[in-house]
Structure 1
């Protein structure tokens, strides 16, 4: 408790004890002895009118006990390259160490500076840099030409960036939305820098439940099958051997998952009378979709521009309020959500005039189909009638060769079959003699034969 109070008092008084760039200081130079920083202007030279500017940056935020880099870049109207004639003084209000001094050209840096004091609290601090130029009249006299500072942050937890990636064919323009039933990769890139290697433990949690722990492996792959919100959290722990302590860092991210579209079906009427609306019945799966459509003729020319709607159900009935001239058309439909997109085309739709002057392209095939159906029905009826024909006992006689004419016999059979087809029912139902042509030839077993014998 006492230590914390002391640190807070030092922080509150930092504005009053922070060193100024124009303060009189002396530094021991290894080659030339003392170097004097002028408190008052010295005699002018040709560079007095030059305007110098210095920009200062750092690699923070950084966890306490890690290393951080600072960079100062000097600019001027005229730059003399490859000449180290500038003196840089660095000072900060985090640990109040002595002034750090570098002699450099237009670019100077302090690398791998570590704040490892137990008295330093996590907070934002300031690193100030003062730039001096050597005066030509006296090699040991330097004049201040620029100053600036950078704000750096020291943290109590590890620093880094978490990244979520999924490989999908559809380009997703909405951040934080991913697909179900596909691999999702969550990784963490730590940015803190240490002078020696350390062991890191990565623990991954899905919706609060720990699913995996890895050593020195900074990525995790998983598949989520449920739609809706999902929270991914990773906790990283590092063993800091030198300080006998552990450093930790936690990253959490909430994402939203949707189902991809797997199928799109389009049902449309094959023909429509001019003036009637085009009807499309579109069915699909997936979640949170948008349906876009346009009408094209068979030459792939657009006759109705693209239009998009948000359906309220998976089955969607569309009746475009457009009038098409006679011809043949197709509808091009695209169903899209945040994670997928599928395009389909309808069957050919024929638009024709409903008057007597025109006929449907399907009229001729329909007529021939009906004629074929009539022929099949007639043949079936004839076959059924033949099945019902009674058995008649006949005798085989050898007639005179002149009577047995092959051509006449075939003709008579055909003629008899046709006549029998139309008269068989009457003969069977009324028991009357069939109206056959009578010849002068005597029939076997006839009444005339009987009278002659008598």
Structure 2
């Protein structure tokens, strides 16, 4: 009889041990544990960590009405626990880290009556503790720009240092701020907020070194000065409004010829540029242009005209601050007519030159014929049968025919001597009288 009871008893004990585990196994698939913290923190400052049990399917399940069904278990060493608060389906602890580093903190939830059973939910995260100050720089301006970290030049910037101190650890500290705005300007203030105006465009990095100092009691009832520092920075991109667009390119071009127009933007990129060809120079409407993203201050437009006529490039550019318009007129000539226009004057000039050459050739030929006829005249010594030619004819022959028949005046005089003997000199000698 006794041997038969042992199997039944052992089965009943086994079922009794399984009963506490049944709800936990079911709940483990239904809930999750979420952790929140106000860290990171500096050494010596108190950190708050909260664990909350929530439904795993975004809240469609309802948690049990009793808050005493579950228990939260924390593992936070080497952090020093300074306080713990348990609420309905949540638990909060406060801890302090005296050494810098990254410390894991884990928490798990079990049923209240079986803390050795399988956890309903668990979670783990790493808490950073630093020996420096914790905070960040906040840069604001009245003008909001769509690009991150973009601001307007020649407009006041507000730069503020925000200390992260949720436990009010630095309530008795005094602060000193050393500012560097990245353009050569530096200043030291006791205020965590400064105002600055950048006058040029570009990318800058504003930096601040923060020093916190306060008195702290020692174990021997004395006091000592404690100091903590921190270095912080923020990147800025300063832009300015578009002052205009400079357009350089041809104003006269042929059809089917590639045209390049260079646009120089008097403003800071990035830019949204659009353009369109119109018969007249009119502003562009929204959605009627070819949009182009430009990351520099220059851009080249290329286009090939297929039809002759008068056109106007309507150009619009805008950055995060402003927008501007510009126009460029251009006249397109047909490629088949323009060469003929230039060829006609050339053909006319060539024809005139040929006509002049022919005229000069014919004229020279006529002169040579007259010279030959004059050369046949008899210049033999005069006799009674051959009377001396008239004086007019002789002079004409000497003046007109001589230069064409003879190469030099000396040859001409030699011929005259041979035919006529001695002739009177061309110039009469001047008689000299002595008184």
TM-score range with shorter-chain normalisation? 0.5 to 0.7
Q: What is the aligned counterpart of 1:182 among 150, 155, 158?
A: 155
Tell me how far apart the structure 2 counterparts of residues 281 and 56 of structure 1 sit (CA, whole Å): 58
Q: How far does the alpha carbon of each residue in 1:149-205 deviate from its partner, in whole angstroms, 9 at most, with x for none?
A: 321111101112223344557633xx5555443333322222222346344333312
- TM-score, length of structure 2 as denominator length: 0.54
Identify unmatched segments of 5+ residues in structure 2.
1-15, 56-60, 218-224, 338-435
Q: 1:301 to 1:353 in 2, by over 3 A?
A: farther
- How far apart are residue 96 of structure 1 and its match? 5.5
The reply to whether residue 108 of structure 1 matches residue 87 of structure 2 is no
CA distance, structure 2, for counterparts of residue 247 and residue 102 of structure 1: 31
Aligned to 1:74: 53
Q: Aligned in 2, Cα 1:86/1:241: closer, same or farther, shift over 3 Å?
A: farther
Unaligned 5+ residue runs, structure 1?
1-39, 357-454
TM-score norm. by structure 1 comes to 0.52
Contact 1:264 1:342 in 2 (8 A): no
**Matches of 1:180 and 1:158, distance apart in 2:** 31
CA distance in 1, matches of 2:38, 2:213: 22
TM-superposed CA distance for 1:262, in Å, is: 1.5
SS in 2 for 1:51: helix
What secondary structure is seen at the aligned counterpart in 2 of 1:47?
helix
CA distance in 1, matches of 2:236, 2:142: 15
Alignment deviations for residues 48-91 of structure 1 (CA, whole Å, 9 cap, x no partner): 44223423332211011222111112235651146343222323
Which residue of the other structure, out of 91, 102, 120, is the alignment partner of 2:75? 91
Distance verdict in 2 for CA 1:349–1:211, change over 3 Å:
same
Displacement of 1:301 after TM fit? 8.7
1:324 to 1:221, Cα distance in 2 relative to 1, 3 A: farther
Counterparts of 1:195-274 in structure 2, within 5 Å, are 195=168, 197-198=171-172, 199-207=174-182, 211-215=186-190, 217-242=191-216, 244-257=225-238, 259-265=240-246
Shift of 1:218: 3.1
| TM alignment of 1:285-300, pairs within 5 A | 285-287=266-268, 292-297=274-279
Output the CA distance in 1 between the equivalents of 2:324 and 2:185.
40
The equivalent of 1:392 in structure 2 is: none
Bigger Cα displacement from structure 2, 201-210 vs 69-78: 201-210
Deviations 1:360-408 (A, max 9, x none): xxxxxxxxxxxxxxxxxxxxxxxxxxxxxxxxxxxxxxxxxxxxxxxxx
- Counterpart for residue 442 of structure 1: none
Give the drift of 1:292. Answer: 3.9
Whether the 8 Å contact between 2:110 and 2:121 is mirrored in structure 1 is yes
Alpha carbons of structure 1 residues 274 and 246: separation in structure 2 relative to 1, 3 Å: same
- What residue number does 2:304 align with? 321
Deviation at 1:108, TM superposition (A): 1.9
What displacement does 1:95 show?
Answer: 3.6
Match of 2:315 among 324, 333, 344: 333
Q: Is residue 63 of structure 1 aligned with residue 42 of structure 2?
A: yes
Give the whole-Å Cα distance in 1 for the aligned partners of 2:130 and 2:231: 13
Q: Is contact 1:203–1:210 with CA below 8 Å preserved after alignment?
A: no
Cα gap change, 1:72 to 1:234, in 2 (>3 Å)? same
C-alpha distance 241-185 of structure 1, shift in aligned 2 (>3 A): same
In structure 2, the CA distance between the partners of 1:167 and 1:246, relative to structure 1 (3 Å rule), is same
State the Cα RMSD in Å. 4.5
Is contact 1:261–1:341 with CA below 8 Å preserved after alignment? yes
Alignment length, in residue pairs?
A: 301
Partner of 2:100: 122
Residues 295 and 167 of structure 1, relative CA distance in 2, 3 Å threshold: farther
Cα contact 1:270–1:348 (8 A) shared by 2: yes
Q: 2:112 aligns with which of 114, 123, 134?
A: 134
Rounded Cα–Cα distance in structure 2 between residues aligned with 1:311 and 1:161 = 30
Q: Is the 8 A contact 2:156 2:196 kept in 1?
A: yes
* Higher alpha-carbon Rg: 2
Cα 1:132–1:267, aligned 2, differ >3 Å: closer, same or farther?
closer
Matching residue within 2, 23, 35 for 1:47? 23
Cα distance change on mapping 1:236 and 1:208 into 2, 3 Å: farther
Q: Considering fraction of residues, name the structure with more helix.
A: 2
Contact 2:79 2:95 in 1 (8 A): no
